Amino acid sequence: LSDMAREQFYWKDANYLGTPSCGDGGDIPPGGRDDEGKVLPPPDSFLLMLLYPTKVDYLRLGDNFRQVDEWEWGRGVVEDCRWKSL
């Protein structure tokens, strides 16, 4: 994880866009690291979510390629489950 990405864990306002200036985010530890350069533990407000998508809409802007895939459930057996292109 990059230092800049780790800093975002410590933003007080999740809707904040851009880089906080000295007056806006003085309490944000640079790079999410302490004075010795060690990575800080995530703050109490940090939440990790595990998502299981059932539909993916992929769009590649370079050549306007689009692909939609959907998770197809099997007959209760994991081996019968698969992604299907629509």
The more confident residue out of 61 and 28 is 61
Is the pTM of the predicted complex or chain greater than 0.85? no
Q: How confident is the model at residue 69 (pLDDT cuts 50, 70, 90)?
A: very high
Sheet containing 55-60, strands listed edge to edge, beginning at the edge strand earlier in sequence: 55-60, 65-72, 82-85
Amino acid at 49: M
| Total Cβ atoms within 10 A of residue 6 | 17
| 85 confidence band (pLDDT: 50, 70, 90) | very high
The vertex-35 CA angle with 34 and 38, nearest 5°, equals: 45
Question: Residue 1's closest CA among 60, 42, 34?
Answer: 42
3-state secondary structure of 36: coil
